[in-house]
Amino acid sequence: MPALRFLASLFALVAVVALVADATPALNGAAPFKMTTVVGDWLQLAPATLVAARTAVINATPPWVWNSVVMSVIGLPTPVLFGLLALVCGILGRRREEMKLHIN
């Protein structure tokens, strides 16, 4: 499926950009290497949308869904999460081998 292959490349791009952004201070000698989480990046980019997403999830589901399920996923380092998403989309979107059946 071309859409999944496109998403895989997009997720891989985000993972590489996040890894480079996290590794740059360490390579410059300014700070030790530390990977930021998705929550940390989300808070830097758009904190109001994080609060809105939290409110929407808590209103639509029981509160434990946000605290245990969603926070465990978005608490992962950004390059790891998007790398895993790229891997899953790449595997699911790969071209299938055509079976050649000969019926006599």
Amino acid in position 93: G
In a domain, 67, yes or no: yes
Residue 70 has a pLDDT of: 92
Residues 11, 28, single domain; the answer is: yes
* Beta carbons of 88 and 17 less than 8 angstroms apart: no
Per-residue pLDDT, averaged over 54-71, amounts to: 91
Q: Is residue 101 part of a domain?
A: no
Asked which of 31-40, 42-51, 94-103 is least confident by mean pLDDT, the reply is 94-103
Query: Which pLDDT band holds residue 101 (cuts at 50, 70, 90)?
Result: confident
Q: What is the pLDDT of residue 104?
A: 62
Instruction: Determine the structural domain holding residue 52 and report its residue range.
Output: 37-76
Residue 19 token pair: 């890894």
pLDDT digits (tens, 9 = 90+) for 5-34: 999 999 999 999 999 999 998 888 888 888
Q: CB count, 10 Å around CB of 48?
A: 7
| pLDDT at position 55 | 93
In a domain, 3, yes or no: yes
99 occurs within a structural domain: no
- Where would I find the H helices in 1-104? 2-28, 38-45, 47-60, 63-64, 71-74, 78-92
> Is residue 59 in some structural domain?
yes
Q: How many residues does the chain have?
A: 104
Mean pLDDT of the chain: 90
Q: How many domains does the chain have?
A: 2
Return the pLDDT at 17. Answer: 95
pLDDT of residue 87: 96
In angstroms, the CA 46 to CA 42 distance is: 6
